[in-house]
A = this chain, B = another copy of it.
Amino acid sequence: MIYSTAQKLFILITVVFMSACGADNSKSEQWRALDINNTLLLTLPHGKVVIELAPQFAPKHVEQFSALIKKSFYHGTKFYRVIDGFVAQAGPKDGSDKDKSVSVLAIEGQFSIAKNWSFTPVQNNDLFAEVTGFKEGFALASDNNDSAWLTHCPGALAMARSNKADSASSHFYFVIGQAPRYLDKIMTIFGRVVYGMEHIQAIKRTSVIEGEYAVDSREHTPIVSLTLMADVPLNERIIIEVENTESTAFAERLIKRRARENAFYYKKPPPVLDVCQVPIKSRLVK
C-alpha cells in the first residue's frame, strides 16, 4: 500500500481529535438545514433538482449567478453540451444578445486559507492533492495549508469559460461522470446538487459516438425554470436537510467507511477514501 503507518496514524489522530473536542453546536448536530436564500430549484421536463450554492467559496460567481436567476435568465435555455461520463453544460445561445449581456468574472478556482482554517479531512495524497476533505458539505482539497479548492466530484456545479482564466459569465455545467479532477483549481465550482441528481443524469446527451448522427438541437433538454428556493411558492418548495460534515457523527462515518467492517468485505479493501466516493446524505423535510 502507498500509505506509511505514520500517515495512517496521522489521519486517525486527526479524526479522533476532531471528535474529542466536539463541544460546540455544529459538532453535535448530524443534519444541517439549507438556507432557502442560498438554495436553487432547477425544474427539468423530467424532474426537479435542488442545488446548494457556495458563496463562502466563490462569492462573486454566486452573486452574479443569483442575480441572473432573479431575472429568470435561464428559463428556456438548453443543455447544449452533454457528454456522458463528463459534464452537462447549459447556457444561452452562443453569441446571442442574452449571452453577451452578462459580465465576465474573475476566476475563483481556489482560495487562500488562514492558519486556523479547519475542515474535516478525508484522505492524504490522493492522485491530485496532498489532502482532501469536506467543509460545509462541499468536497475540497488543499496543498501545503496555503490554499484550498472545491473538487470536481459528480454533482458539482461550475462555470464554463473560454481559454482565458477570467472568462466565465453565464454558461454552467454539472459534473455527471467520474470526477474530472484535472479541472480542479482552473474552473470555478460554486454549488452542488443535493437532491435529484438522477434527473441531471437523465439529461439528453448531445455528444455522439463516431458514426452516429448528431443529436438535433431541438431535442436538447431545456431548463423549464431555475429559481431561488426563497422565490418558489411555499407549496412548491422542496425543503432539504443535508449531512453536517462538521459533525462528530460524520467524522465517525468516515472512520467506518474507511474500515469497511461489514461482513460483506470478506477481504479488506485498502483503508483509503476517494473524496468523490463519499456520498453526503440529504433528507427531505417537506
The answer to whether A266 and B163 touch (CB under 8 A), given A125-B2, A127-B127, is: yes
Contacts of A61 in B (CB 8 A): none
A125-179 contacts to B, CB under 8 A, are: 125-128, 130, 153-155, 163-165, 176-179
Docked CA distance A284–B211 (Å): 5
In the bound complex, do residue A267 and residue B85 qualify as a contact, i.e. CB atoms below 8 Å apart? no
In the bound complex, do residue A84 and residue B198 qualify as a contact, i.e. CB atoms below 8 Å apart? yes
Interface check A202, CB cutoff 8 A: yes
- Output the residue of A128, A181, A182, A279 with the most chain B CB within 10 A: A182
A255-286 contacts to B, CB under 8 A, are: 260, 263-267, 269-270, 272, 274, 276-277, 279, 281-285
Contacts of A263 in B (CB 8 A): 163
B-facing mask of A211-237, CB < 8 A → 1, else 0? Answer: 110000000000000000000000000
The segment out of A17-25, A72-80, A92-100, A183-191 that lies at the interface is A183-191
In the bound complex, do residue A210 and residue B283 qualify as a contact, i.e. CB atoms below 8 Å apart? yes
- Output the residue of A127, A204, A266 with the most chain B CB within 10 A: A127
The answer to whether A154 and B182 touch (CB under 8 A), given A2-B125, A211-B284, is: no
In the bound complex, do residue A180 and residue B277 qualify as a contact, i.e. CB atoms below 8 Å apart? yes
Which of B130, B153, B185, B209 is A195 in contact with, Cβ under 8 Å? B209
Contacts of A176 in B (CB 8 A): 201
Docked CA distance A263–B163 (Å): 6
Docked CA distance A178–B263 (Å): 23
In the bound complex, do residue B198 and residue A284 qualify as a contact, i.e. CB atoms below 8 Å apart? no
Which of B85, B183, B185 is A154 in contact with, Cβ under 8 Å? B85
Interface check A205, CB cutoff 8 A: yes
In the bound complex, do residue A277 and residue B202 qualify as a contact, i.e. CB atoms below 8 Å apart? no
Docked CA distance A185–B267 (Å): 9
Nearest CB of chain B from residue A135's CB, rounded to whole Å: 19
**12 A-B pairs in the complex with CB atoms less than 8 angstroms apart:** A2-B125, A84-B201, A85-B197, A86-B279, A127-B270, A128-B270, A165-B267, A180-B277, A181-B274, A181-B277, A186-B267, A210-B283
